[in-house]
Amino acid sequence: MIHIVTAANADRYSAELLQAFELRHRVFVDEKGWAALRRPDGRETDQFDDEHAVHMLYIEAGAVLGYQRLLPTTRPYLLTEVYPQLCDGRAPAGRDIWEWTRYCVEAGRRERGRVLSPVAHALLTGIVEWGLCGAVSAIVIEMNPLWLLRLVQLHFKVTPLGLPLPIEGEDTVAVIARFDRRTLDRLTLMRPAVLVQGERAA
Amino acid sequence: MSRTLLDRTLEFVKLVDAAQSPSEVASIVLKCAAPHGFEQVFAGTMPGARERAAKQRAHVILDHWPQSWLSRYFSRGYLVVDPTIKRVRAGAPAFYWRDLIETRDDPVAQRVMDEATDFGLRQGLTVSLLTLDGHAAGLSLAGGRIEHHPRLKGMMTLVASYALGQCFGLDKAARAAPVDLTNREIDVLRWLAEGKSDRDISQILSISEHTVDKYLRSAFAKLGVANRASAVAKAIRARVIV
């Protein structure tokens, strides 16, 4: 299930957070080859892993299998500091807008070309549920444009902030994706199919 | 240039969001792409490798493409040798046809591209997409003389995503009858419509309550509803149960 870790409860999740940083290192450095993020201790962290970050961990039997991070846009964030070239115009900022970063899922638990994997589904649903509970209505995403159609199909109202550009060898587009109750309903509908899929695989 | 392209993309997003049919989507796409020399658009999901020609055509979503070329294309089975299709299946980023290096040592692939030229599809651009249920989809734009610019590829990637997203939404709204409910799912819905509880249904059908719940959930997904009342209503409307 999804665990939300913030400055308020980080002391109770110190082991899991370390696992999450190791997962990030495996995915972003070892797998995707983002060499600038490489750390000798095999734990990927950056300047945004501070007291303002909201970490979402998918934990199963003590193992962190999925991760994503949300950053407030009322302060400097990845798009404004690291990828300003992706944003043509003023970067979104507001208490109801957060930036979705470092989404990653353990290699063996990703979708195999079919529907969203249960871990991916839980992470995505986690953002929307968390958002709807906390008066957050939009997320800023820097992503491969291949994801755009899926977000549109999930009833996110997506607006591009710039045209796609290659980042670390991968086409990347910055968007702002608004969501509401309909998005959650759509995600909920997706769920049974995912479960049936998982059962069939097992 | 990029700011203009982005503004035009945003304008496109607004227009396509109000489109009521795939043909309307196609003309909005073409209106947006015309300043860059594009005259034709074609899009669809990828059929399975062994589907027959008639079934292949069922995967077409946007069709503003020379019809004589399409007849030839499907009847000759070009789908399996078309190099653009191979790239779409592989999820490659958007590409211009002139950058297709696959045709260099594949005369059959080269012939498909050459023949397309004879039908007015001289230069083109193809975008690969991935649908929510994991199917590859592709959108191609072509014309006699198109503009080649890297930012244009990015713009058309966005345009293609919104265009197909809108078409899938229309398709879903238009589809009145649900798809292939199993006999067991129909049994459960029928007893649910009679006002039986999960426990009642599990006893009637001699299955566990957990299994009843499982059938219900998968029936909900197929019917596109979120709760029991809507499931019964929709099943009756679609004459799945009477």
DSSP code per residue over A100-134: EEEEEE-GGGS--SSSPPHHHHHHHHHHHHHHHHT
What rounded mean pLDDT belongs to chain B?
88
Q: How far apart are alpha carbons A91 and A156 in whole angstroms?
A: 19
Q: What is the pLDDT of residue A195?
A: 44
pLDDT for A201 beyond 60: no
Choose from A142, A163, A178, A182 for mutation: most chain B CBs within 10 A. A163
**Contact yes or no for B165 and A152 at CB 8 A:** yes
User: Nearest by CB to B133, which of A114, A145, A189?
Assistant: A114
CB spacing of A146 vs B151 below 8 angstroms: no
| Window from A90-99, A177-186, B170-179, B186-195 with minimum mean pLDDT | B170-179
Q: What is the mean pLDDT of residues A111-121?
A: 78
Nearest CA of chain B to the CA of A190: how many Å? 7
How far is B68 from B65, CA to CA, in rounded Å? 9
Digit-coded pLDDT (tens) for B6-55? 999 999 999 999 999 999 999 999 999 999 999 999 999 998 767 776 67
Give me the residue from B3, B132, B220 closest to A153, CB to CB: B132
Report pLDDT digits (tens) over B96-115.
999 999 888 899 999 999 99
pLDDT of residue B168: 92
Q: How far is A163 from chain B (nearest CA, A)?
A: 6
pLDDT digits (tens, 9 = 90+) for A25-76: 999 999 999 889 999 999 999 999 999 999 999 999 999 999 999 999 999 9
CB contact under 8 A, B155 and A163: yes
Q: Which residues of A are less than 8 Å from B129 in CB distance?
A: 146, 149
Find the CB nearest A111 among B134, B154, B162: B134
Taking CA–CA distances from B217, the nearest residue in chain A reads A192
Q: pTM of the predicted model, to two decimals?
A: 0.80
Share of chain B above pLDDT 70, in %: 94
Cβ neighbours of residue A168 closer than 8 Å, sequence gap 6 or more: A32, A33, A34
The C-alpha atoms of residue A196 and residue B214 are separated, in whole angstroms, by 8
Give tens-digit pLDDT for A125-158: 999 999 999 999 999 999 999 999 999 999 999 9
Of the two residues B221 and B116, the one the predictor is more confident about is B116
Whole-number CA gyration radius for chain A = 16
Question: Of all residues in chain A, what percent carry a pLDDT higher than 70?
Answer: 93
pLDDT confidence of residue B211? 92
Give me the mean pLDDT over the B173-183 stretch: 65
Q: How far is B21 from chain A (nearest CA, A)?
A: 16
Q: What is the pLDDT of residue B119?
A: 95
All residues of chain A having their beta carbon less than 8 Å from the beta carbon of residue B153 are: 164
**Picking from A8-12, B158-162, B238-242, which range would have the lowest pLDDT averaged per residue?**
B238-242
Whether pLDDT at A88 is above 60:
yes
Q: How many CB atoms sit inside 10 A of residue B235's CB?
A: 24
Quick one: pLDDT at residue A194? 42
Q: How far apart are the first and last CA of chain B?
A: 60
Residues of B contacting chain A (CB within 8 angstroms) = 2-3, 5-6, 9-10, 13, 91, 93-94, 128-134, 137, 151, 153-155, 157-158, 161-162, 164-166, 168-169, 214, 217-218, 220-221, 224-226
Of B134, B169, B225, the CB nearest to A113: B134
Distance, in Å, from the CA atom of B26 to the CA atom of A199, rounded to the nearest integer, reads 40
A88, A159, A193: residue with CB nearest B2: A88
Closest-CA distance of chain B to residue A87, Å = 10
User: Which residues of chain B lie closer than 8 angstroms to A150, CB-CB?
Assistant: 130-132
Does B78 score more than 70 pLDDT?
Answer: yes
